[in-house]
Amino acid sequence: MVYIILTMVASMNGGNTNMCGIVGYIGSKEATPILLAGLKKLEYRGYDSAGVAVIEDGGLTVVKTVGKLDKLEKKLEEFNPSGFLGIGHTRWATHGRPNDVNSHPHKGYSDDFAVVHNGIIENYLELKEQLIEERGDVFASETDTEVIAHLVENYYAGDLVEAVRKAMAVIKGSYALGVVSIHEPDKLVAARKDSPLIVGLGEGENFIASDIPAILNHTRDVYLIEDGEVVLLTKDKATILDTDNKPVERKVFHVEWDAEAAEKGGFEHFMLKEIFEQPEAFKKTLSGRIQDGKVKLDELEFTKKQVDRWEKVFIVACGTAYHSGLIGKPLIEGFLRIPVEVDIASEFRYREPLVNEKTLALFISQSGETADTLAALREAKAKGATTIAITNVVGSTISREAHKTVYLWAGPEIAVASTKAYTTMLIAQYLVSVYLAQVKGTIDKDKAEKILAALQELPDNTRKILGQKDYYLRLAESLKGCEHLFFIGRGFDYHIAQEGSLKLKEISYIHAEAYAAGEMKHGTLALVTADTPVVAIALQEKTYEKTLSNIKEVTARDAYVIGLANEGDTEILKTVNEVIYIPRIENIVSPVLAVIPLQLLAYYAACVRGCNVDQPRNLAKSVTVE
Ligand code: M6R
| 466: number of Cβ within 10 Å | 19
**Ligand 1 atom index nearest CA of 391:** 3
In the predicted structure, residue 618 carries a pLDDT above the cut 90: no
Pick from 359, 317, 320: which is nearest to 342 by CA?
317
pLDDT value of residue 625: 60
Helix (H, G, I), strand (E, B) or coil at 197: coil
| Mean of pLDDT over the chain | 92
Return d(Cα 8, Cα 344) in angstroms, integer. 39
Distance CA 487, CA 497 (A): 5
| Predicted pLDDT of residue 13 | 37
- What's the gap in Å between 361 CA and the centre of ligand 1? 19
Assign 119 a pLDDT band (cuts: 50, 70, 90).
confident
pLDDT at 169: 97
Q: Encode pLDDT of 534-561 as tens digits.
A: 999 999 999 999 999 999 999 999 999 9
CA-CA distance, 272 to 228, in Å (whole number)? 28
**Atom of ligand 1 at shortest distance to CA of 622?**
1
Residue 506 Cβ < 6 Å to ligand 1: yes
* Atom 10 (ligand 1) nearest CA: 320
In the predicted model, is pLDDT for residue 12 greater than 60? no
CB atoms closer than 10 angstroms to residue 212:
29
For residue 174, the cross-strand partners are none
In this prediction, residues 265-279 reach a mean pLDDT of 92
Q: Among this protein's residues, is 20 annotated catalytic?
A: yes
8 A C-beta contact, residue 14 and residue 196: yes
Pocket probe for ligand 1: among 498, 507, 595, 623, the residue whose CB has the most ligand atoms within 8 Å is 623
Mean pLDDT (whole number) for 231-237: 98
* Residue of the CA atom closest to atom 11 of ligand 1: 319
Distance in Å, CA 64 to ligand 1 centroid: 31
User: Is any atom of ligand 1 closer than 6 Å to the C-beta of 389?
Assistant: no
Q: d(Cα 574, Cα 571) in Å, to the nearest integer?
A: 6
Domains along the sequence of the chain with CATH: 2-263 (3.60.20.10), 272-465 (3.40.50.10490), 468-608 (3.40.50.10490)
With a CB cutoff of 8 Å and minimum separation 6, the contacts of 233 are: 24, 26, 187, 188, 189, 190, 199, 206, 208, 239
Index of the ligand 1 atom closest to the CA of residue 425: 3
Per-residue pLDDT, averaged over 568-592, amounts to: 96
Q: 537-551 burial, b if ≥16 CB within 10 A, otherwise e?
A: bbbbeebbeebbebb
Assess contact for 304 and 442: CB atoms under 8 A. no
390 lines ligand 1 (CB under 6 A): no
> Cα dihedral angle (312, 318, 319, 321), rounded to 10 degrees?
-60
- Do residues 262 and 254 make contact, with C-beta atoms less than 8 angstroms apart? no
CA atoms within 13 A on the CB side of 114: 29
Rounded to the nearest whole angstrom, what is the distance from the C-alpha of residue 317 to the centroid of ligand 1? 9
pLDDT in tens, 306-352: 999 999 999 999 999 999 999 999 999 999 999 999 999 999 988 88
What per-residue confidence (pLDDT) applies to 19?
Answer: 55
Q: Which of 20, 318, 607, 611 is catalytic?
A: 20
How many Å apart are CA 324 and CA 410, to the nearest integer?
A: 15
Tell me the residue type at 604.
Y
Are 109 and 407 in contact by the 8 Å Cβ rule? The answer is no
Give the range among 39-43, 224-228, 355-359, 621-625 with minimum mean pLDDT.
621-625
Of all residues in the chain, the percent with pLDDT exceeding 90 is 83
Ligand 1 pocket, mutate which of 367, 372, 420, 425 (most atoms under 8 A from CB): 367
Report residue 95's pLDDT band, with 50, 70 and 90 as the boundaries. Answer: confident
For the stretch 486-513, pLDDT in tens is 999 999 999 999 999 999 999 999 999 9
pLDDT score, position 264: 81
Our answer on whether the CB atom of 392 is closer than 6 Å to any ligand 1 atom is no
- The pLDDT score that the predictor gives to residue 11 is 36
307 CB within 6 A, ligand 1: no
Give the whole-angstrom CA distance, residue 281 versus residue 409: 7
pLDDT at res. 1: 30
The full DSSP string for 338-375 is --EEEEEHHHHGGG-----TTEEEEEEESSS--HHHHH
Assign 251 to helix, strand or coil. coil
Q: Averaged over 296-302, what is the pLDDT?
A: 93
74 is an active site residue: no
CA-wise closest residue to 87 among 139, 29, 23: 23
Give the phi and the psi of residue 113 in degrees, each rounded to 5.
-130, 145
Residue nearest ligand 1's atom 14 by CA: 417
Q: Considering only CA atoms, which residue is closest to atom 8 of ligand 1? A: 319
Q: Would you place residue 609 in the very low, low, confident or very high pLDDT band (cuts 50, 70, 90)?
A: very high
Of 479, 434, 455, nearest to 589 by C-alpha is 455
Assess whether the C-beta atom of 346 lies below 6 angstroms from ligand 1.
no
For residue 373 and ligand 1, the question of a CB distance below 6 A is answered with yes
Query: What whole-number distance in Å separates Cα of residue 514 and Cα of residue 138?
Result: 56
Provide the whole-model pTM.
Answer: 0.74
Q: Which atom of ligand 1 is nearest to the CA of 320?
A: 10
Angle at 616 between CA 610 and CA 622, to 5 degrees: 160
The residue whose CA has the least distance to atom 7 of ligand 1 is 319
Can you give the pLDDT at residue 3?
33
Mean of pLDDT values over 118-147: 94
| Whether residue 626 has pLDDT greater than 70 | no
Query: CA angle at residue 460 from 454 to 463, to 5 degrees?
Result: 130
The verdict on the CB of residue 417 being under 6 Å from ligand 1 is: yes
Q: Is the CB of 599 under 6 A from ligand 1?
A: no
* Residue 365 Cα to ligand 1 middle (Å): 7
Q: Higher-confidence residue: 196 or 386?
A: 386
Give which of 505, 513, 518 is closest to 554, Cα–Cα.
518
Classify strands 578-582 and 534-538 as parallel, antiparallel or unpaired: unpaired
pLDDT of 193 over the 80 cut: yes
Residues 166-172, mean pLDDT to the nearest whole number: 96
Q: CB of 108 closer than 6 A to ligand 1?
A: no
Is the CB of residue 131 less than 8 Å from the CB of residue 147? yes
- Ligand 1 binding pocket includes 399 (Cβ within 6 Å): no
